[in-house]
Amino acid sequence: MTRLILASGSESRAKILRDAGVDFDIMPAHVDEDAVKDSMLAAKQSHRAVADALAELKAQRVSSSHPQDFVIGADLVLSFGGELVSKCETMADARSLLSRLRGKSHELYSAVVLAKGGSPVWRDVAKATLTMHDFSDALLDRHLEAGGESLLSGVGCYRLEDSGAQLFAKVDGDYFAILGLALIPLLSALREQGVIPT
C-alpha cells in the first residue's frame, strides 16, 4: 500500500482517520492561512473557495516534498452574516463569538484535497448549516469552563463532538465534515486510488 500523509496537526482530523482504521503519518503543512484568506477575500472570492484553496495549498505543500505518497490537505472555515470568522485567540474572544452566534445560524465549509506528486487528484467541499439555540449565559460559562483553552483550536469554539452539542438547536450537514474532515467521501477516494483496501 502507498503511504498516506495527513498535512495537518489537527487532533480532531487525526482521530477521525485513526478511528476509521486508516494508517497514516502526520506532517503539518506550514502555510500562512491569514495571508491567503486576506488575499482571496480582497478578490471577492467565496468562503467556500477559501476553504478549498487552503486545503489544496496544504496538500500541495507536503506533496511536493513527498511526491510518491498521497497527501490529505483539509481546511474548515466558518461563515456568519457574510463574514469569514477566524479562530479566536483568547477565551474572551471565544465568549464574544459564541454570544454573537447564539440563537442564529452559521455555515461551515469543510474542504479536503488529496494530492500526489504535488498536484490534486481529488477534492470535496461540504457545506453544513448549524443553528444555535438561545442558550443562557450560565450554559455558555459552563461550556467555556469545561473546554478551556483547547476550544481555541476549533474555529467555532464549540466542539460539537463533546458537550458543545448542547449549544445547538439544529445541525444540517455531514457530521465528520463539521468536525473538520469529510470522512465518507475521502474513504471512497482512498479506495479508488488504491491507498486503502476495497
Contact 98, 143 (CB under 8 A): yes
Cβ–Cβ < 8 Å for 170, 131: yes
Which 3-state string (H, E, C) describes the chain?
CCCEEECCCCHHHHHHHHHCCCCCEECCCCCCHHHHHHHHHHCCCCHHHHHHHHHHHHHHHHHHHCCCCEEEEEEEEEEECCEEECCCCCHHHHHHHHHHHCCCEEEEEEEEEEEECCEEEEEEEEEEEEEECCCCHHHHHHHHHHHHHHHHHCCCCCCCCCHHHHHEEEEECCHHHHHCCCHHHHHHHHHHCCCCCC
75 is known as an active-site residue: yes
Which residue in the list 25, 52, 69, 75 is annotated as catalytic? 75
- What are the catalytic residues? 75
